[in-house]
Amino acid sequence: MASSTTDHPEAGFVPTPVKIIIAGGFGAGKTTMVGSVSEIPPLTTEEVLTEASAGVDDLSGVERKNTTTVALDFGRIRISPRHVLYLFGTPGQTRFWFMWNDLARGAIGSIVLVDTRRLDASFAAIDFFERRAIPFVIMVNCFDNAPRYTVGEVRAALAIPDRVPVLLGDARDRDSSKLALVRLVRHAIAMLPMPA
């Protein structure tokens, strides 16, 4: 007779949650990244941009964008029977930044997505995590037809310290997004204080 699931040593075990933030400027690809890597259908709070946002949301460089995140994106990845990653994508517009403190609470770190068409939109996210001493990595989301720069050029332009990983990737690609998550987790572990 086959054993029931309750006979399994992991049955009833609640995995340890690991919270990761996907941040960046408006239109950097946060919703896309969460969707590309989540093992569940992601929760998104995308709304259509309307004329009411004219003059409020800066669409320069992303003129074809017609939706925006108004609260958060959420996805999940089970990385082992004992650990599950919860991904929270932040809203990009300044009028929703008040939510970032709550979203970042308890996070082990963040992936800051950078769009080379709008490098200046990255500074607020970088500053947010630096000021709170939350580990982060930079992922340049290599959009089609966007200017291409080396990792060194991006690091210099954004004044990123050498200790912070910077990588080139594509938020649409599951493997690329997974690589960024692995780099973040390794970086966050390396940033832990040494035991006394």
Q: How many CB atoms lie within 10 A of CB 36?
A: 19
Asked if 164 and 137 count as a contact pair (C-beta separation under 8 A), the reply is yes
Asked if 143 and 74 count as a contact pair (C-beta separation under 8 A), the reply is no
Share the mean pLDDT of the chain.
83
Work out whether strand 166-169 and strand 136-141 pair parallel, antiparallel, or are unpaired.
parallel
Q: What is the CATH number of domain 21-190?
A: 3.40.50.300
- The token duo for 156 is 């210099």
Q: How many CB atoms lie within 10 A of CB 58?
A: 16
Tell me the C-alpha distance between 34 and 181, whole Å. Answer: 11
- Please indicate, yes or no, whether the overall pTM of this predicted structure exceeds 0.85: no
Determine the pLDDT at residue 66: 53
- Cα–Cα distances in angstroms (integers) from residue 6 to residues 11, 12, 82, in the given order: 5, 7, 16
Residue with tokens 């950097």: 28
DSSP string, 89-124: EPP-SGGGGGGHHHHHTT-SEEEEEE-GGGGGGGHH
Tell me the C-alpha distance between 40 and 64, whole Å. Answer: 27
Q: What residue ranges do the domains of the chain occupy?
A: 21-190
pLDDT over 60 (residue 1): no
Per-residue pLDDT reduced to its tens digit, 21-78: 999 988 899 999 999 999 988 777 665 545 545 555 555 555 565 555 555 788 999 9
Determine the pLDDT at residue 22: 96
Helical H runs in the chain?
A: 30-37, 100-104, 123-131, 151-158, 174-190
- The token duo for 4 is 């029931």
Per-residue pLDDT reduced to its tens digit, 175-193: 999 999 999 999 999 988 8
Determine the pLDDT at residue 45: 64
Tell me the C-alpha distance between 90 and 71, whole Å. Answer: 7
34 residue type, one letter: V
Determine the pLDDT at residue 133: 94
- The token duo for 119 is 């490098």
